[in-house]
Chains A and B, each alone.
Chain A
Amino acid sequence: MKVLYFAWLRTKIGCAEEEISLPENVKTVADVLDLLRTKGDAYVEALGEDKVIRVAVNQDYAPLDHPVKQGDEFAIFPPVTGG
């Protein structure tokens, strides 16, 4: 699955995009966030409970219980500030 990071999440994690493979037991947005938090301190910090983040799956906003599968485009970013 392709994971994309934007704005301060990109700078904190240190990359804009990476490819991860999903273990069998990873079925929802919340599961993916848990998996990413095992990848190191920068991930734990960026995806901490105190951080307000948004997730999009295949370019639509997705809640924590939204299902995910290999091949999805998974994006993590802060609340938007355009306009």
Chain B
Amino acid sequence: MIRVQAENFDVGAEINALSEGNTAIGGICSFVGLVRDFQHTKDDDTRVSAMTLEHYPGMTEKKLAEIEEIARQRWPLEDVLIIHRYGRMEAGENIVLVVTASAHRKAAFESAEFLMDYLKTKAPFWKLEEDDQGQGKWVDARDADDHALTKWEKSQL
């Protein structure tokens, strides 16, 4: 299941809701992405007090649903949950939650990492960071994220 929302989410409540009543689940893996209070640049670290996530309504849901479908075909998953927030968030707040549930841990671990790698390079979200003076700066995409994706394409062979 995918959800794109402005509101925060409760990680524990989401995991409980997902596993409740499904006793075939033997393991659950979760990843929570947070707003970090610094951005590492070439020269030094800059402070980040908040960020605004912009997204492309419609395409976001479409891409997340595709990503979930690919993961379900590739691993034996009992359930998948992806929540991604948009709007303004302060440092320390939740941005994204990925939860994967399977009979065994390997599928849960691997698919959670896969979902995050795919989401970071395919889902149409853009971060505008604010420093402590309130100055906004669009975050540049990272080559490392593209490289992370290549790993999964190679191992598909």
A residues with CB within 8 A of B: 4, 6-8, 10, 52, 56, 59-61, 75, 77-83
Write the chain A residue with the least CB distance to B119.
Answer: A83
Assuming the A-B contacts A56-B59, A59-B59, are A83 and B54 also in contact, with contact meaning beta carbons closer than 8 angstroms in the complex?
no
Known contacts A7-B54, A7-B128; A80/B59 CB under 8 A: no
A83 touches B33 (CB 8 A): yes
Q: Give bound CA distance, A62 to B64, whole Å.
A: 17
Q: How far is the CB of A20 from chain B (nearest CB, A)?
A: 18
Shortest CB-to-CB span from A66 to chain B, Å, is 15
Verify A56–B116 contact, CB threshold 8 A. no
Rank and list the top 5 A-B pairs by shortest CB-CB distance, nearest first.
A82-B125, A79-B141, A7-B126, A83-B120, A59-B59
Please provide the chain B residues from 119 to 144 with a CB less than 8 Å away from any CB of chain A in the complex.
Answer: 119-128, 138-142
Flag whether B91 is at the interface (Cβ < 8 A).
no
Contacting B126 at CB < 8 Å: which of A4, A52, A61, A81?
A81
* Complex Cα gap A79–B95 (Å): 18
Q: Are A56 and B124 in contact (CB under 8 A)?
A: yes
When distances are taken between beta carbons in the complex, the residues of chain B under 8 Å from A61 are 122
Is the C-beta of B81 less than 8 angstroms from some C-beta in chain A?
no
Chain A residues contacting B119 (CB-CB under 8 Å) are 82-83
Interface residues of B in 11-35 (CB under 8 A from A): 33
